[in-house]
Amino acid sequence: MAVNILLTDDEEGFVDAVARRLDKRGYTIHQAHSGRTALEALNQGVEMDVVVLDVRMAGIDGLETLHLIKTSHPDVEVIMLSAYGTPLCVTECRRWGARAFLNKPVELDALIKAIDEAAEAASARREKKAHQADR
């Protein structure tokens, strides 16, 4: 199963570097460089399994973007990233529905593990909904 990932960070170099590394591992990567462009991408109908989202971004920050994603696309799994991961920030991200919180600089293996777990949860949720719809 191909995993669709939306990488969202206002640091374009970071997004490009992570995208290349994940692409080599077989993931389907989409990029957004702001919260607003991430929301636009989700609203265009491409089914994303996982959004990887930076907490601190210009414009709409990651927490607000997370809240908007979970409000309009509750089945999308979100992994938050931050170089400033205070306990309060982690708690807020979890409260708003983030599946995981990773500190930057992020280790690729930890990110891949979080993505795989999130994609598996998203897939199970879709299967459950499809099964319920068939009843």
The per-residue pLDDT for range 66-123, each reduced to its tens digit, is 999 999 999 999 999 999 878 999 999 999 999 999 999 999 999 999 999 999 999 9
> Angle 39-46-27 (CA atoms, 0-180°, nearest 5)?
100
49 DSSP assignment? S
Helical ranges in 12-74 per DSSP H: 12-24, 35-43, 62-72
pLDDT at position 1 is 64
Residue ranges making up the domain that contains 50: 4-134
Q: What percent of the chain is predicted at pLDDT more than 90?
A: 82
pLDDT at position 85 is 79
Number of domains in the chain: 1
Here the CATH number for the domain that contains residue 26 is: 3.40.50.2300
Task: Report the pLDDT averaged over residues 58-70.
Answer: 95
User: 110, 102 in Cβ contact below 8 A?
Assistant: yes
